[in-house]
Amino acid sequence: MRAVTKILVIEDDVLVRESLVDALAGAGHRVASARNGVEALAMLDQLARPALLVLDLQMPLMDGLTFLNELRKRPDHSAFEILPMSATVHQEWLERFPGVLRTMRKPFDVRDLLAEAEAFESRHQSPAGPVTPASEEAAPVLGPAAAAAAPEES
């Protein structure tokens, strides 16, 4: 049985990102990180379903609100719960985005984040066994012929 990542921290500040990842991993969570919304979108198919996205709203390349707009276009957007964080955030900015749990105003106590991660895990414990990444879930549906025709990863 292989544990899969269920939490993605999306944060451009390297010190904040590493601190959040360390705190979550230290509490036993499987966590990955992305530096911006562009990287995060590319990583979504490698996450377990459901997944928790800890999302900074103010980032270069693709900010959090743009990321949320792109996420909403995905057919699987409801498989993600979002925990936005920013120094200047207002809950009403995010009401139109499905999956937003609550906002966390920076700076925040890391114990609040850990409590949210625990609550997420509690809501989504699977008695049927381990959760698999979307990419692994798709493989049996596609079959061996489709997998052989897929482009090689570099």
Whichever domain contains 65, its CATH number is: 3.40.50.2300
Residue 59 lies in a domain: yes
Task: Give yes or no for a contact between 48 and 5, defined as CB atoms under 8 angstroms apart.
Answer: yes
Whether residue 25 is contained in a domain is answered as yes
Does residue 76 belong to any structural domain of this protein?
yes
- Comparing 154 with 53, which gets the higher pLDDT? 53
Render the burial of 7-24: b for 16+ CB within 10 Å, e for the rest: bbbbbbeeeebeebbebb
Residue 89 vs residue 29, higher pLDDT: 29
Name the amino acid, one letter, at 104. Answer: M
CA–CA distance from 107 to each of 22, 66, 69, 103, 145 (Å)? 17, 22, 25, 12, 50
Range of the domain at 88: 7-149
Inform me whether the pLDDT recorded for 23 exceeds 90: yes
Note whether residue 97 is domain-resident: yes
Check residue 4 and give its pLDDT.
66
Mean pLDDT of 65-91: 89
User: Helix, strand, or coil here: 94?
Assistant: helix
Higher local confidence (pLDDT), 117 or 97:
117
Q: What is the pLDDT of residue 32?
A: 96
pLDDT at 98 over 90: no
34 located within any domain:
yes
Query: Do 49 and 27 contact (CB within 8 A), yes or no?
Result: no
Please give the share of the chain, as a percent, with pLDDT higher than 90. 49
Q: Please give the tally of structural domains in the chain.
A: 1
- pTM reported for the whole predicted model: 0.77
Query: Does 2 map to a domain?
Result: no
In a domain, 1, yes or no: no
pLDDT recorded at residue 29: 93
